[in-house]
Amino acid sequence: MNSLAGNRTKLGFIGMGSMGSRITRRLLEHGYKLVVYDRDRSKAEALTRHGATVAGSLAELAGAADVILSCLTNDDAVQSVYTSPDGVFAHAPIGTVILEMSTILPQTSRELARGGANLGLHVLDIAISGSTPAAEQGTLVLLAGGNPNIFRTVEPILQAIAARYFHLGPSGSGTTMKLVVNTLLGVGMQAIAEACAFGQKAGLDRDLLLHVLSQTAVVAPAHAGKLLRAARNDYSPQFPLRLMNKDLRLIVETAASRDAAMPAAQAAFQISSEALSFGAEEDFSAVIRQMEKLARLKGAYQEVA
């Protein structure tokens, strides 16, 4: 396969959501020619001012690209985009490389890779670790599974959008590692939410508590900024709660399929599910508010009793 650097390579990108649109802009800034597609055509057309071309269908995109990337909402969306009669697999030329970047079940990644291989296509799972600001700045961490030779070939593309990238093993390894990472992200935020509610119930000032906690070594960098935003009651989405809840569900389901005990992840999944009713599109750090509310309700109940 020829070099995949800059304007010598035609890329197709499917899914112009919060992450996909930002990654697309990074690739355009690095000189790549991109054709983009989204079911909501207006989202794709918004990228034309940055230099992208809009495909009218998945078939059109598949036929125009050397490498296809996708960043989609869930397993069903991924299966539909690739395996439906009018999907990518039905129209991509033999030898096309596919970088599937969605957070999905590892089993889905493996099925996709097998299905692509049967058609002469090269499919890697390239899971994304990082928020929308990291996507804008090109500082994502990418977690890959699949053929190591294909991984090495696509490194110029990965370098354009990420600060670090790792090959974890065969197909499904990248999405598995993403679930491992998001276990710590989701469970860690739930622990922080409980600690914040506990500290306030024990008499600490909320603003001071959040500030000091953000300065301690026990809070990961991914969580520290969330505490400062929570102090302003700012839960605008960098990583929406609905997506964290989806990822926690994938974690719990994958763990169950492997007989792995995950009591803390199960509890975090339950709390995030309850928090969805208060704002699915808010940042996943909104579980802080959820635990604070539960603490207040419990206190009010005890006073009445």
- Whether residue 252 lies inside any domain: the answer is yes
CATH number of the domain encompassing residue 272: 1.10.1040.10
In tens, the pLDDT along 38-81 reads 999 999 999 999 999 999 999 999 999 999 999 999 999 999 99
Report the alpha-carbon distance of residue 100 to residue 275 in Å, rounded.
Answer: 29
**Are 273 and 288 a contacting pair, CB within 8 Å?**
no
Structure tokens at 141: 């961490």
Q: Residue 299 pLDDT more than 70?
A: no
Three-class SS state of 142: strand
CATH of the domain at 33: 3.40.50.720
- Report pLDDT for 296: 87
Q: Is position 144 within any domain?
A: yes
Q: What is the CA radius of gyration of the chain?
A: 21
pLDDT of residue 158: 97
Q: In this structure, is the dihedral angle defined by the CA atoms of residues 161, 166, 171 and 172, taken in order, positive or negative? A: negative
Whole-model pTM above 0.85?
yes
Residue 1 lies in a domain: no
- Domain residues for 265? 177-304
197 and 100 co-located in one domain: no
The pLDDT confidence band at residue 9, using thresholds 50, 70 and 90, is: confident
Domain edge (last residue) among 115, 150, 170:
170
Q: Evaluate whether residue 23 is within a structural domain.
A: yes
Cα 93 to Cα 89, 246, 248: the distances in Å are: 9, 33, 36
Q: How far apart are CA 20 and CA 25, in angstroms?
A: 9
- How far is the C-alpha of 216 from the C-alpha of 213, rounded, in Å? 5
The distance from CA 13 to its chain's CA centroid, rounded to whole angstroms, is 15
